[in-house]
Amino acid sequence: MTHEFIQIVQGYKKAKKAGRKSILVTLVALDGSSYRPSGVRMLVVDDASMIGVISGGCVEKEILKQTGSVFTSKVSKIMTYDGRYRLGCEGLLYILLEPFGPSDLFLKEFENNILKEESFQLKTYFKKEVGTNTEWGTEVVFTDNSRYYMKQNRTMVLGSNSDVLVKEMNPCFKLVIFGAERDAAQLCIFAKLLGWKVTVVVSISNPLTLQHFPGANEIFHVEPESIETIHLNKNSAVILMTHSYARDLKYLSKLKEFSVSYIGLLGPKKRREKLLNEFIELHSVIEDSFFDLIHGPSGLNIGAETPQEIALSICSEILSVVRGKEPIFLSDKVNAIHCEIS
């Protein structure tokens, strides 16, 4: 959800530039089940525009009605929404509406934090009751323990008698695509929609630029031997889709030096087996855990045929692997999708 908070901050900056006021909306508690879990956030601007979603749509309409008093009073308030009778989700939602006006100093440090791919923490102070309170609100805590309250003219949250919702915000998940064919461009688009940071890696001689890959955040023109310049870690997934067997083998050989969460291969099983056999001949001493990261052919079996469907299939498998979830039909799931009793 880090990418959603990034979008909220970006939306606030745009609204502020236009002379608009904003309200940060947080689902702080939940009795029962809901469309999304507690901790999700959205932004409401005083021109009735919204960034992000708390639920499927009905809740947002009620939130928009409730924001009027907060824009006027500039005091945070808790509202409830009973989805048991309107959504069919069997959940009672507690939602905090707070005036949103972070300082310029926060905006600068937040941007640096995102660029450095560091974690941060959101701490939201509230009381699980309908009402208003000047002490309710959200603060952001960075890894150096610097803290920023999201209301203007406040440097800390009082809230000594409040409940606290703590949300750990990890760096945006990164997808690194080795390859520059048309299917790579489609994968960029789908990964961007998921809020992932997308990196494209092409050869030095390749003339393509970032403009050729909608949704990508950066492009590296490097050879396999020099991929140290790319920030790869456990928060990264890799797809080898150069459509060159020799280059895929070189990239795979180099990737053994990095810790990533997923390595995807394109092509049929025979190509994968040949690639891995040759890889083993080149590198006889490799931990079994490295081979556990390799998935090929990459993707879930959803009947994908077009480049767009294949991109969806690949993203789905990556998500299931990094979240540790076995893909099943939700209709076969015993428990609720999001269920909390507090």
Q: What is the CATH number of the domain that holds 261?
A: 3.40.50.720
- 60-75 burial, b at 16+ Cβ within 10 Å, e below that, comes to bebbeebbeebeeeeb
Instruction: Please give the model's pTM, rounded to 2 decimal places.
Output: 0.83
Examine residue 330 and state whether it is found in any structural domain, yes or no. no
Picking from 49-63, 167-181, 228-242, 259-273, which range would have the lowest pLDDT averaged per residue?
49-63
Given a contact cutoff of 8 angstroms between Cβ atoms, the answer to whether 305 and 311 are in contact is no
**Residue-number span of the structural domain to which 300 is assigned:** 174-322
Domain end marker among 117, 140, 169: 169
Mean pLDDT value of segment 40-65: 90
Question: What tokens does 314 get?
Answer: 């690949």
- 337 falls within a domain: no
Q: Are residues 178 and 233 in the same domain?
A: yes
Query: What pLDDT was estimated at residue 342?
Result: 47
Specify the range with the lowest mean pLDDT, choosing from 23-27, 57-61, 124-128, 314-318. Answer: 57-61
Residues 186 and 217 in one domain: yes
Q: Are 231 and 239 in contact (CB under 8 A)?
A: no
Angle 216-323-113 from CA coordinates, rounded to 5°:
50
Indicate if 293 and 163 belong to the same structural domain: no
In whole numbers, what is the pLDDT of the chain averaged over residues? Answer: 90
Euclidean distance between CA atoms 313 and 302, whole angstroms: 7
